[in-house]
A and B are shown apart, each in its own frame.
Chain A
Amino acid sequence: MIKSKAKLLQLTVTLTACAFLFIPTVMSVMAGVTANYFKGISSGVTLKWVFQVWELYADSIFLSLWLALACLVVTFIIGLPAAYGLARHPGWFSRVLEEFISLPLAVPGLALALALLQLYGTMKGFRTSWTFILVGHVLYTLPFMVRSILAVLAAMDLKTLEEAAASLGASPPRRFLNIVVPNAMPGILAGALTVVTLSIGEFNLTWMLHTPYLKTLPVGLADSYASMRLEIASAYTLIFFIMIVPLLMAMQWASSRAQRIAN
């Protein structure tokens, strides 16, 4: 099977790297189902900690899911027309605008959160509502939505397709619904999965913006690490994994599909 020393070396390096990444994860997950971490796995396997996490942090989990969904809706409503506008009017101005939308990626989440707090911190009702965190998430995830739709739209001759539809009697709204949206779908899907995944996992911004009554999944994670026993923190990680890994896999699939169309 293994033909040469070079191949053997490659395999060893790869496996070592994998082990380096996987073992801590596996350890952590195992800790989450171990009856007593200090005694080791021999103390028995239990789901007690997982249930306890659920009792303590179910609100965080639901808040995160709700936020991700709301974030998706908002980025879609803003992102699709924005990407369409940028694709239909290419030029230096669009490029500048695109960079501008992408700016929140370059600015650290903490700085972004600070800016939001300085500007809106005094508006009590808004400051303590979940929509405040939503604003931060939208700012952070919008460029991903816009860019992935834009990539698909830019790959086709949108102008001529629309002209063709117009010559067949389609009004501007019909052209948008029948031609632009269906053809942008792979980009929308890839963007949507990215937005949801990022929103669920976002910590930086959210940690600054959250209130004690509004903890998202990652904020709760940090909280459990800081204040709970190790088994509970580990069980929390396990729940986080179960939620995020399928999303990541779906995202991979969708973006590779979008890329195939864009090429």
Chain B
Amino acid sequence: MTLHLTNTAKTFSDGTRALLPIELTVKTGEIMSLLGPSGCGKTTLLRIIAGLETPDTGSQIFFDDDDVTLQQVEDRKVGMVFQSYALFPNMSVRGNIGYGLKMQKLAPDKANARINEVLEMCQLEKLALRSIKALSGGQRQRVALARAIAPRPRILLLDEPLSALDASLREVLRDELAVLLRKFNITAIFVTHDQAEAMAIADRVAVMDHGTIVQSGTPEELYRNPQSMFVAKFVGSAMLLDGSCKGKKLTLAGGVQDLPKNTTDELVFVRAEDVHISKKGSLTGTVQTTTFLGTHYRIGISGIASGVLTSILAGQTAPNIGDTVKVSINPEALLILPNGAHKE
């Protein structure tokens, strides 16, 4: 199913504009992620698509050619996975998964077959008769997903489905979720504030800020060609190199950096993996922090830009705190973005 939103906005009764008029199309079978900091309107947008929130007049929501703008949530045939999972405590795992089918008045034998199929897909066969109180966080998440998918919804909506889990579990389940969603072969929208999550799961990511979509594209596009300072910072935590530009040179507190093109009024950003500590470097800074992360070190360097510059160092040893180091940055790796396009 193709989802199409035009001019969709939401103003709350207290006058807060949670969502500015938005256009959005999600193609059949596509997994789209809405990514943004809390309060950016991503959950509001998801709830509008679900029918749990009424958009402002003038908004239009289409599921294929079906205008669902005025449809109640129970008639929209959407599957939703809530942040807290919202499993029904008065029902077993099977009862939860079968609830949507019961509402559709599916014949019992067909419903049972469907439940078994979904249980198997989500590897829940052994837990079918358990009470939901006796499940772990990861199991609950799978039950919530199974329950949402069982009635064959037109679209699957997931509201931060991983945020209720322990950090150690989150990464494993993130990959598991990506595999499952593709197995379902369904149009899905996935809300998250974690860029790594969005990148790992989605085919396409829409970055949201202050109630609008600031940029959307594949994870690669967003990472390599951010169009604003906000996206650069939010996706892949780019760091600002603040200095004065003149022609192809950028003069920083810690030295002069070459630029790939003539730049005057723009902002220059760099990502940690492109900041190299090397003796031949043209920039000089002081080591502030070193963090050992197993495969690499994260080194915080001050004195180059006004903020601390982070460098990823793959090696056996790290410089000591307080050492003076030389840093080189490949001009091609720099992100040059328009100034003031987006305030943060």
CA distance A164 to B81 in the complex (A): 8
Chain A residues with CB below 8 A from B73, complex form: 163, 166-167
Kindly supply a per-residue 1/0 record for chain B positions 35-70, scoring 1 wherever the CB is within 8 Å of any chain A CB and 0 otherwise: 000000000000000111000000000000000000
> Within the complex, what minimum Cβ distance (angstroms) separates A43 from chain B?
58
- Residues of chain A in range 170-213 having any CB-CB distance to chain B below 8 Å: 170-171, 174, 178-179, 182-183, 185
| B226 CB-CB contact with A under 8 Å | no
- The reply on A9 being an interface residue by CB < 8 A is no
C-alpha gap A81/B148 in the complex (Å): 29
Task: Say yes or no for B151: interface residue by CB 8 A criterion.
Answer: yes
CB distance from B27 to the nearest CB of A (A): 22
Given A169-B74, A182-B90, A183-B89, the answer on whether A164 and B80 have CB atoms closer than 8 Å is yes
Please, how many residues of chain B have a CB less than 8 angstroms from a CB on the other chain?
A: 26
Given the interface pairs A157-B86, A170-B103, A174-B103, the reply to whether A163 lies near B52 with Cβ below 8 Å is yes
The CA-CA distance from A163 to B159 in the complex, in Å, is: 13
- Return chain B residues, CB-CB under 8 Å to A168: 74, 99-100, 103, 147-148, 151
Minimum C-beta distance from A163 to chain B (A): 6
Once the chains bind, are B103 and A160 in contact (CB under 8 Å)? no
Contact across chains for B99 and A156 when beta carbons are under 8 A apart: no
In the complex, what distance in Å separates the CA atom of A153 from the CA atom of B193?
Answer: 30
What's the interface size class on A, roughly? 10 to 19
Complex contact B82–A160 (CB within 8 A): yes
State whether A163 touches B100 (Cβ < 8 A): no
* Contact across chains for A165 and B84 when beta carbons are under 8 A apart: no
**Does B79 have its Cβ within 8 Å of any Cβ on chain A?**
yes
- Interface assignment of B31: CB less than 8 Å from any CB of chain A: no
The answer to whether the Cβ of B223 comes within 8 Å of any Cβ in the partner chain is no
By a CB distance below 8 angstroms, the chain B residues around A182 are: 90
**Min CB–CB distance A187 → chain B (angstroms):** 13
Given A157-B84, A157-B86, A183-B89; A165-B52 close (CB under 8 Å)? no
- Choose among A157, A161, A169, A171 the residue that contacts B100 (Cβ–Cβ < 8 A): A169
- How distant is B47 from chain A, measured CB to nearest CB, in Å? 9
The answer to whether B74 touches A170, judged by C-beta atoms less than 8 angstroms apart, is yes
CA distance A179 to B89 in the complex (A): 9
Whether A163 contacts B147 in the complex (CB less than 8 A), given A168-B103, A169-B103, A170-B74, comes out as no
Chain B positions within 8 Å of A171 at CB level: 74
Please indicate the chain B residues that have their CB under 8 angstroms from the CB of A174 in the complex: 103
Top 9 A-B pairs, shortest CB-CB distance: A169-B103, A168-B100, A164-B86, A182-B90, A167-B80, A160-B86, A166-B73, A166-B74, A169-B74
5 contacts between A and B (CB under 8 A): A161-B86, A163-B82, A164-B82, A166-B73, A167-B148
Q: What 11 additional pairs, Cβ within 8 angstroms, besides A161-B86, A167-B74, A183-B89?
A: A160-B84, A160-B86, A165-B88, A167-B73, A167-B78, A167-B148, A168-B147, A168-B151, A169-B77, A183-B90, A185-B90
